[in-house]
Structure 1
Amino acid sequence: MTLERRYRRLLLAYPGPYRRGHGAEIVTTLLEMAPPGQTRPSASESWHLFVSGLRQRFRLPSGRPLVWVAALLIAVVTGAFGAAAGSWVAEQTFTDVPGDARVESLTRQAAGGGGSDFSVVRAASPWWGTMAHGAVDEPGYTPEAAQARLTADGWSVTPIESVPSASFTSDPVTGALVELPSRGTRFEATRDGLTMQVGGYVTAEQGNVFTEFWPADTSALRPLTLVGAALGLIAGWLLTAAGAYRMRPLPPIRRRSATALVALALAALAAPTVALWVNVGRMLEPADGPVNTVHSAFNPGPYWSYGPAWMVLGLSVIGLILAIDAWLLLALRRPAASPVTA
């Protein structure tokens, strides 16, 4: 590889329009300054070209305050979606929630008997990932015996907590509701990255045992989410800078169309962005129950009380389509190269 080709490879650190406008001049100047016999760029030259190119990629066109506003807004949006991507990657390290058969087996093991009327429900909220809920009737349930069975099976259990409980029956004579003495308890058991919460509500006549299952945090969620948010913020700023320079030589009609598409995309992504950043705050808070994730905002549910269950995901898809259309409008049929100045 010749010295010229090595210089041109280092120029890849600069944005494309800048290389097309100034690349030949930079390479010619460097070759003229190179001492006879030099075959490789010096370390200082390589570092200078890399840093200068990176600085040029982050530089916004001067004298255009609206571009700065757009860069901040777009960075906030892409930072939120970067955090969601990091959260999703972290969730792949979580233990899977057990299937229905395993949920039933563990629920009956905790209940301590055959039980009857077993049911299982799976749910995902806009704040945490998928959970499984099991329920079984078992009149003879006691939390102490449940703890002993699970401990013998290798589960780590927490102390038993008392929870409010009330049960009523109908008086056979008067028909009035009569409250029955009842005991409500709850404890958690953890094994192999899975947390099971066991709750029991027992009276002299009946007992109901409820279980909830969710994956335990692997300590990957927070760092990966924050890394994703940081990368998203950087990517948003870089995309805005690149788009602003691509927009400058375009005909007025294409500039206005691209600007309108960007504005519509930001409007569509406003609610999802707020939802994702709110989930980032929830994720950073200590949680005793299910692990709060960021990308769970895309789960169907009443995240916003005034919208449908799929509102966050639907608006995200619409905003992404509009953003892609805006970028294609800037990228397709690129105009002839011209010198680009800051």
Structure 2
Amino acid sequence: MSYRRLLWAYPRAYRQRHGAEIVTTLLDLAEAGRRPGLGLRAHLVLCGLRQRFRLPARRPLAWVAALLAAVALGAFGAAAGTWLGWRTAAAIPSDGELRALNAAMTGMPAPAAVYRERSAMKGPGVLVRADGTSDYSAARVRAALLADGWHITALEESDSATLANPPGGRAEGTPAIVAFENLVPVPTKTVRYTARKGELKLEGSGDILVGGAELGVAGQARYGTEVWPEEAAAVRPSTVAGAVVGAIAGWLLAAAAAYRLRGGERGRRRLAAVLAAAGFAALAGPVSELYRDAYQVLTYAHGSPYPYIVDGPDDGRVTLFCTIVGLLAIVTAVVAARPAGEWPGPGAERPARAGPEVSA
């Protein structure tokens, strides 16, 4: 391996300042019969990585920024890891396939409503909702699921009653409490079913009014069926790995930015500090939500028994907006500082000789 290739572990500006001297030292050792071995090479790489993690001396704000950056990017890394982990899960059938299955189960040919959802564990899920008129048939539900390749794990039938308005409905001006007392119970059949197909799970129920012909409600039916994949084995490990990688990347970026800001003018440094503070403040909400999501992922019951939801439809929009504002402010803060003309980075306060960095 080339000696210069070993120097890639160091920051670029550090290589520009000390790289030639380090390589010269290694070549001198080789000519003297002390060719650098594996231990010295590893030591050189570790020293380079240490240089990347170091922060400017006597700069407490740099430490604060590095910690905040590690926490923030750790949250985004965890979210990215969760997303990647779920990419290894079983694929959910298409909307067309789900509507076809729903029509076969319910006997209602009209297209059903399909809602794509995301569970508290950030896994995908689909809810198929159908309302219309149909006759009751648990056997039809069973046959449709079996024909589509599902293995039925449970199918239960029960009797209940649904309250309906009497003939003529509620007269105008009638108090609601009186109208409620006049409701008529209508016999109702309920079927509940669960099934599996490979790594996919299915759960649903249907309520069908089997009486109430005199009220004009006989045959009214409502079905709801959810389909979701079983938890992929990679979801939790990739979430943790993403958080660790994100935290390390955040620290490294903050360290690089700290030296960049150190070489700028005082006015620009102050402007950059204000923008960075505003950016981290804007990211506070999204970061806390992402850590809440990571907690939900890691503490979720194994096997994803049921995909319960914790987010509302508008939660993602607010998080996305704050994330964009925060990241733009932080990027602007880094750009606002003038790049350093000469590397004032780790080791600049020490003698230029790089020998200690490569000694065994």
Q: Is the 8 A contact 2:263 2:339 kept in 1?
A: no
Q: Is the 8 A contact 2:159 2:188 kept in 1?
A: no
Q: Which sections of structure 2, spanning at least 5 residues, go unmatched?
A: 171-181, 211-217, 350-360
C-alpha distance in structure 1 between counterparts of 2:10 and 2:73, whole Å:
22
Q: Is the 8 A contact 1:161 1:187 kept in 2?
A: yes
Q: What are the residue-to-residue correspondences of 1:246-325 with 2, within 5 Å?
A: 246-284=260-298, 285-286=300-301, 287-290=304-307, 301-303=313-315, 310-325=317-332
Instruction: Note if 1:328 corresponds to 2:341.
Output: no
Shift of 1:310: 1.4
Instruction: Note if 1:157 corresponds to 2:152.
Output: yes
Q: Is the 8 A contact 2:125 2:307 kept in 1?
A: no
The equivalent residue for 1:93 is 88
Shift in CA distance, 93/126, structure 1 to aligned 2, threshold 3 Å: closer
C-alpha distance in structure 1 between counterparts of 2:11 and 2:157, whole Å:
63
The equivalent residue for 1:134 is 129
C-alpha offsets along residues 199-233 of structure 1, whole Å, 9 cap, x if unaligned? 11133233322222333333222222222111101
Please state whether the residue corresponding to 1:34 is helix, strand or coil. helix
Shift of 1:94: 3.6
Q: Is the 8 A contact 1:103 1:134 kept in 2?
A: no
Shift of 1:183: 4.1
Q: Is the 8 A contact 2:205 2:224 kept in 1?
A: yes
Letter in 2 for 1:30: L
C-alpha distance in structure 1 between counterparts of 2:143 and 2:12, whole Å:
67
C-alpha distance in structure 1 between counterparts of 2:80 and 2:159, whole Å:
39
Please state whether the residue corresponding to 2:112 is helix, strand or coil. strand
Quote the RMSD (CA, aligned, Å): 3.1
Please state whether the residue corresponding to 1:71 is helix, strand or coil. helix
The equivalent residue for 1:200 is 206
The equivalent residue for 1:306 is none
Please state whether the residue corresponding to 2:225 is helix, strand or coil. strand
Instruction: Note if 1:64 corresponds to 2:45.
Output: no
The equivalent residue for 1:190 is 196
Please state whether the residue corresponding to 1:124 is helix, strand or coil. strand
Q: Is the 8 A contact 2:54 2:346 kept in 1?
A: no
C-alpha distance in structure 1 between counterparts of 2:138 and 2:55, whole Å:
64
C-alpha offsets along residues 163-203 of structure 1, whole Å, 9 cap, x if unaligned? 99762112238962123343444332222443332211133
Shift of 1:50: 0.8
Instruction: Note if 1:51 corresponds to 2:46.
Output: yes
The equivalent residue for 1:146 is 141
Please state whether the residue corresponding to 1:310 is helix, strand or coil. helix
Shift in CA distance, 339/34, structure 1 to aligned 2, threshold 3 Å: farther
C-alpha distance in structure 1 between counterparts of 2:159 and 2:67, whole Å:
49
Larger radius of gyration: 2
Shift of 1:315: 1.2
Shift of 1:20: 3.2
Instruction: Note if 1:235 corresponds to 2:229.
Output: no
Please state whether the residue corresponding to 1:182 is helix, strand or coil. strand
Q: Is the 8 A contact 1:197 1:213 kept in 2?
A: yes
C-alpha offsets along residues 260-317 of structure 1, whole Å, 9 cap, x if unaligned? 221111111111111111111111211422388xxx97xx8233xxxxx611111111
| TM value normalised by structure 2 | 0.78
C-alpha distance in structure 2 between counterparts of 1:138 and 1:158, whole Å:
27
Letter in 2 for 1:261: L
Please state whether the residue corresponding to 2:154 is helix, strand or coil. coil
C-alpha distance in structure 2 between counterparts of 1:77 and 1:162, whole Å:
50
C-alpha distance in structure 1 between counterparts of 2:222 and 2:17, whole Å:
75
| TM value normalised by structure 1 | 0.81
Instruction: Note if 1:121 corresponds to 2:114.
Output: yes
- Once the two structures are overlaid, the 10-residue window that deviates more, 240-249 or 142-151, is 142-151
Shift in CA distance, 312/8, structure 1 to aligned 2, threshold 3 Å: same
Q: Is the 8 A contact 1:17 1:340 kept in 2?
A: no
C-alpha offsets along residues 109-154 of structure 1, whole Å, 9 cap, x if unaligned? 222x3x2554313243584445242314354334465235423542
Shift of 1:55: 1.7
Q: Which sections of structure 1, spanning at least 5 residues, go unmatched?
A: 304-308
C-alpha distance in structure 1 between counterparts of 2:157 and 2:237, whole Å:
35
Identity %, equivalent residues: 38
Q: Is the 8 A contact 1:162 1:186 kept in 2?
A: yes
